[in-house]
Chain A
């Protein structure tokens, strides 16, 4: 069980959080013309790196804030967490 530092609340056990996927993915702007390939990349395709991964987490049983974490997918080491407006 991981120990995750919520940037708003501090260190908490993993069971308070929900994983939210790749944090480098940007949703296309509303109303914007999007090619099928770009849209498919946004909806379906994700890198599956071994090593550092920027990802979203949701403090779902806590402050209910979404935030970013930099985690090693092989070792589960979490190098840093940050509020959404901050850099990791």
Chain B
């Protein structure tokens, strides 16, 4: 059965020839293609869909689209499961599974509803009042219970299997919303030659034209909408998107749109993205987002079966679904009469209650001529029916509208209410538009714009069709003409519509005598009239504070139906006018957006680019374990057999100390520096002197920031008089290049130097260990490797099998070492040759862990020591600081704090027991039993297992470190209750005189 609550007048917007099966709360139902989950359930007479957030009250549908506050469901199962989905926004597909959320054991019998009975213990702000003491209860008792009770649906715990995409678009005019004013603006702009994007959230284009009985030209509103859309789709300069919500308006006319690409399709192709995020940079944005109907407040106005009148009309006209068969229309304006007229077409007589004294609008007259029962000066005081309404207590309003008389109970199965209309100003406000309060509409409308955004139609407070069309065509032409200057105007068609009388500003019904039913303002957050009154009574004045205290207008629907009623009530109580109270901030996203769409394809290995060195595959074939160094994948260690990580690292490091190892150093930053002032530039950015560096020699350099802190270090080689090759750390490569460019372009433009990153141009292999010279001799027999001919810090360029090779005699490991650099595309070939020749010398590859061990033993500083808090003196680099010349950051080194003899300086640390490894980050203290705060003297920056001495060794910084050598302190790690007695030693633990590199 596709439902007994279907209209007799058929809708042409759903496909009755295709039946769709779906499951809700375990029961099977049928709907038609084109039905939403909401319309299909309503057609089947299902109104109870969920439980409210705080009181767990039974809830049904209120709206028909993005305004829906109640009908949130959990969709799908397993890894595709999705919480908090508005049933009004889901188009049913074959086999769709949905269930109610925030209820246990079932939506009909929910234990949590006890909160409703206990509601006087859950007043506004109860979170702030109730769980304050005893303090120790927060973590152990309150927090876990609240966490379990709070929230609506359940997030899936498995990775999302669907595919999401991002798209970037530019257009002249973006039109948001395809109602009459949006279609008019898009048509006018497109005809005038502008590149147009038209976005519609719903499946169908046309907005109010789908539900209003109007005529445009000689067509019905819907026919005109269809024809206009088809025309727009045929134009090459127009992109038309349905199921697409523009949810955010950011700076410089950047808008973001969320497109539901295949959610409505049965079994979409795996290559079709599920949803797509469009970044649209628009020249001009037309905000034709329409308006949202406001509810009325009366006793138990949240019961299932109580709808917005416009939603009831749309369910009938668009989805062919009846929200009930015994309706009461309850309104303070003319627009709700449309629902009564539409019910009448389906042979259902509605009772109409109007809070006004009278109205002679066209729709009212039509209802009267149809013989419908209209009671003016009347309203609903309360309703009965917990899981679905069964009757309403209605009565006459007295002249002050503060009490009812002549109360009577009327049987009904639905109430269609209307409290007036709120222009959807969200995008305008997000764009920086300063809204103004329109007294006639009782609502905020756009006023002073900051960006290139123009509201039209009811979003702009223009509620007649004639005005909407006129505005749309005019704005579409004006905005496009400012871009195209084509001067091609489109004629505004004539239109016919019903006339409307003014609405009643009265929306909050008095309580029936002797009773205190809850009158809700915000359905999603269970905020009732009494909660707002309580907040004001307790001294909350600012609307932003009232919002946070009561949670009015928060959560998934962001108060689309409740914000204005809420702030009107605040202004009534405070006896202020609404503009004085102001409004809360409209923030993106306008509607909820899936995390998958925001992330797009940037998941897993696509999260960020991966940089691989030319020898990457060789490492993989040799059982490497990689580590991430920025975007680079660097070999960490190469385990053999059953080796643990520390086994492998110790073997690799020891092999460098005893024989020879090879390490991929391609990822080190490399910058080519050329020009007559190249040496002068180096002289200014490094702390040491560079003018007299001979051609063919390298030098170690340290560069500072202007605040005196060490920024980076590395070796730079003079390739020729005006040509240098700089290396940087892997981590700082990009920053050093930007730094050099800043000084060359901004500070010293007179220097004739060019800098260029050459990191990817060269493939580098460090060959380190006492046997490295022997290996090199065999590999490059034509090169003289004697210290006289090729000294430490020397450069030799040679050829190998026709390949140009640069050999640097530099060392990070502290051993005799060379670096072989070839062009990247020869990197793997060279590496293989080195391995081949190195076999007889016992060569083994070593990764970043062994490299760290080697440099820590030598006391060479690296990333953990260059943490942006150290001046050269702290790291024992004062010898690198030239006294004769100026350089970046030099003046800072004179600051008192930086010449303080008690500064923390670099030391070595050995555990007294020679066994316990000292965790990096441990604090150094004199007495590990001292009461807190225990004065911290320094910290451990890098730790390793010394392969030279076979015991743990660390380096770190220590207050007045030089004078503490030989003393005993404690390395403490309070998070894990670790305290290790340590002896302070020199940071140069191995080869303190640096002889090995020079042999």
Q: Which residue numbers of A lie inside 8 Å of B, CB to CB?
A: 1-3, 13, 18, 20, 27-28, 30-31, 34, 36, 39, 42-44, 56, 58, 60, 64-66, 75-76, 78, 84-85
Q: Could you tell me the distance between the alpha carbons of A84 and B744 in the complex, rounded to whole angstroms?
A: 11
B432 / chain A contacts, CB cutoff of 8 Å: 75
Picked from A1, A42, A84, the residue with its CB within 8 Å of the CB of B745 is: A84
B746 touches A39 (CB 8 A): no
Chain A's interface: helix, strand, loop or mixed, by majority? loop
Min CB distance A46 to B, Å, is 13
A44 / chain B contacts, CB cutoff of 8 Å: 707
Min CB distance B63 to A, Å, is 32
Closest 4 CB pairs of A and B: A3-B252, A30-B886, A76-B251, A31-B886
Q: Do A42 and B706 form a contact, CB below 8 Å, given A3-B281, A30-B684, A84-B749?
A: yes
- Count of chain A to chain B residue pairs whose CB atoms are closer than 8 Å in the complex: 53
Mark each residue of chain B from 728 to 752: 1 if its CB lies under 8 Å from any CB of chain A, else 0. 0000000000100110011101000
Interface size class of B (residues with CB under 8 A): 20 to 34
Picked from A3, A18, A34, A75, the residue with its CB within 8 Å of the CB of B891 is: A34
Q: Does B254 contact A (CB under 8 A)?
A: yes
A1 touches B741 (CB 8 A): no
List 18 A-B residue pairs with CB atoms under 8 Å apart, sorted by A's residue number. Answer: A1-B251, A1-B252, A1-B254, A1-B279, A3-B252, A20-B742, A27-B706, A28-B891, A30-B887, A31-B885, A39-B891, A43-B706, A43-B707, A43-B892, A56-B742, A66-B741, A76-B251, A84-B746
Q: Could you tell me the distance between the alpha carbons of A32 and B281 in the complex, rounded to whole angstroms?
A: 48
A2 touches B252 (CB 8 A): yes
Q: Could you tell me the distance between the alpha carbons of A60 and B734 in the complex, rounded to whole angstroms?
A: 9
Mark each residue of chain B from 251 to 277: 1 if its CB lies under 8 Å from any CB of chain A, else 0. 111100000000000000000000000
Min CB distance A40 to B, Å, is 8
Nearest-CB residue, chain B, relative to A56: B746
A66 touches B254 (CB 8 A): no
Q: Could you tell me the distance between the alpha carbons of A20 and B743 in the complex, rounded to whole angstroms?
A: 12
Min CB distance A3 to B, Å, is 4
A58 touches B738 (CB 8 A): yes
A58 / chain B contacts, CB cutoff of 8 Å: 738, 741-742
Q: Could you tell me the distance between the alpha carbons of A63 and B183 in the complex, rounded to whole angstroms?
A: 41
Q: Does B80 contact A (CB under 8 A)?
A: no
A66 / chain B contacts, CB cutoff of 8 Å: 741-742, 745-746
B738 touches A39 (CB 8 A): no
Q: Could you tell me the distance between the alpha carbons of A18 and B738 in the complex, rounded to whole angstroms?
A: 10
B747 / chain A contacts, CB cutoff of 8 Å: 27
Q: Does B777 contact A (CB under 8 A)?
A: no
Q: Could you tell me the distance between the alpha carbons of A39 and B706 in the complex, rounded to whole angstroms?
A: 10
Q: Could you tell me the distance between the alpha carbons of A25 and B229 in the complex, rounded to whole angstroms?
A: 55
A76 touches B741 (CB 8 A): no
Q: Does B895 contact A (CB under 8 A)?
A: yes
A31 / chain B contacts, CB cutoff of 8 Å: 885-886
- The interface centre, meaning the residue of A2, A44, A64 with most chain B CB atoms within 10 A of its CB, is A64
- Having A2-B252, A3-B254, A65-B745, one finds 10 other A-B pairs with CB under 8 Å, namely A1-B254, A3-B252, A3-B281, A27-B747, A31-B886, A42-B706, A43-B707, A56-B742, A66-B741, A76-B251
Q: Could you tell me the distance between the alpha carbons of A60 and B735 in the complex, rounded to whole angstroms?
A: 10
Q: Do A60 and B746 form a contact, CB below 8 Å, given A1-B251, A3-B254, A39-B892?
A: no
A1 touches B886 (CB 8 A): no
Q: Could you tell me the distance between the alpha carbons of A30 and B885 in the complex, rounded to whole angstroms?
A: 9
Q: Do A2 and B251 form a contact, CB below 8 Å, given A30-B886, A64-B741, A66-B745?
A: yes
Mark each residue of chain B from 544 to 579: 1 if its CB lies under 8 Å from any CB of chain A, else 0. 000000000000000000000000000000000000
Q: Could you tell me the distance between the alpha carbons of A8 and B432 in the complex, rounded to whole angstroms?
A: 30
Min CB distance B701 to A, Å, is 17
Q: Could you tell me the distance between the alpha carbons of A58 and B746 in the complex, rounded to whole angstroms?
A: 11
Chain B 865-897 interface residues, beta-carbon cutoff 8 Å to A: 885-887, 891-892, 895
Min CB distance B745 to A, Å, is 5
Picked from B250, B738, B891, the residue with its CB within 8 Å of the CB of A1 is: B250
Q: Could you tell me the distance between the alpha carbons of A58 and B895 in the complex, rounded to whole angstroms?
A: 30
Chain B 394-421 interface residues, beta-carbon cutoff 8 Å to A: none
Q: Could you tell me the distance between the alpha carbons of A19 and B371 in the complex, rounded to whole angstroms?
A: 70
Mark each residue of chain B from 695 to 714: 1 if its CB lies under 8 Å from any CB of chain A, else 0. 00000000000110000000
Q: Could you tell me the distance between the alpha carbons of A44 and B746 in the complex, rounded to whole angstroms?
A: 19
Nearest-CB residue, chain B, relative to A21: B742
A34 / chain B contacts, CB cutoff of 8 Å: 891
A78 / chain B contacts, CB cutoff of 8 Å: 252
Nearest-CB residue, chain B, relative to A78: B252
A3 / chain B contacts, CB cutoff of 8 Å: 252-254, 281
A75 / chain B contacts, CB cutoff of 8 Å: 432, 450
B745 / chain A contacts, CB cutoff of 8 Å: 65-66, 84
A42 / chain B contacts, CB cutoff of 8 Å: 706
Q: Could you tell me the distance between the alpha carbons of A85 and B750 in the complex, rounded to whole angstroms?
A: 12
Nearest-CB residue, chain A, relative to B746: A66
Q: Could you tell me the distance between the alpha carbons of A56 and B746 in the complex, rounded to whole angstroms?
A: 9
Min CB distance A22 to B, Å, is 12
B741 / chain A contacts, CB cutoff of 8 Å: 58, 64, 66
